[in-house]
Amino acid sequence: MSILKIAKMGHPILSQKAKLVEDVQHQAIKKLVLDMIETMIDSSGIGLAAPQVYQSVRIIIFKVPLERMGKGEENIELTTLINPVIEILSAEKEEGIEGCLSLPGMIGMVPRNKHIRYSGFSIDGVMIEREAHNYHARVVQHECDHLDGMLYPSRMEDLKSFGYVDEIQKSEINLHLKVEEND
Ligand code: NI
């Protein structure tokens, strides 16, 4: 396995529509997935899409940290989806903070559908089908957007919340201090 270079916003591969994987059990696909997993772990990400490692094919990997799951929801271990498909189950959306390994150091508030169903093939060629809510649904939508050449800023409704994570954290701390002063 090897750690791959990650493409950053501005590279044209991140704006392309990725191709379907024809043979989901091909050895080269397995190797790519294993390299993607190693790359995601190395960069402390929670999701990664193949175009981010310069491969314009429809593969995503993701996990959902336990603390991000709602009450009664199962922990989602590291999942690979080859040729993923999303079905929106509710038009209801919610805003949440997102970051992306292709926009290092930046975050923004992004609206996403709250309830989806998704499917795709595992690294062993087994069909996975799940329903997802909230954060779990958000991660899958973010990663699948990469396969259609879309990065999260283009989903944002208010670019005022887009910025460098250290600046946003600083201003949040300042805001918090000001609120306390007013108490
Ligand atoms: Ni991303």
- Per-residue confidence (pLDDT) for residue 120, from 0 to 100: 98
Does 3 reside within a domain? no
Query: Is position 96 within any domain?
Result: yes
Residue 1 lies in a domain: no
Distances (CA, A) of 126 to 20, 50, 73, 99: 16, 19, 23, 30
CA of residue 100 to ligand 1 center, whole Å: 4
Those residues whose beta carbon sits under 5 angstroms from the ion ligand 1 are 100
| CATH code, 94 | 3.90.45.10
Residue 21 belongs to a domain: yes
CA distance 162 to 82: 30
Interval between CA 182 and ligand 1 midpoint (Å): 39
- Of the candidates 38, 98, 129, 143, the residue annotated as catalytic is 143
Domain count within the chain: 1
- Rounded CA separation 90/168 (Å): 31
Is 59 part of a structural domain of the chain? yes
Tell me, yes or no, whether 6 lies in a domain. Answer: no
- Give the per-residue pLDDT at 181: 57
Classify residue 4: in a domain, yes or no: no
Q: Domain of 17?
A: 12-182
Q: Provide the residue-wise pLDDT of the chain in tens; the chain has 183 residues.
A: 899 999 999 999 999 999 999 999 999 999 999 999 999 999 999 999 999 999 999 999 999 988 887 777 778 899 999 999 999 999 999 999 999 999 999 999 999 999 999 999 999 999 999 999 999 999 999 999 999 999 999 999 999 999 999 999 888 777 676 655 555
CA of 177 to the centre of ligand 1 (A): 32
Q: What is the DSSP string of 81-115?
A: EEEEEEEE----EEEEEE--TTSTTEEEEEEEESE
CA 95 to centroid of ligand 1, rounded, Å: 16
38 noted as active-site residue = no
The pTM of the full predicted model, rounded to 2 decimals, is 0.93
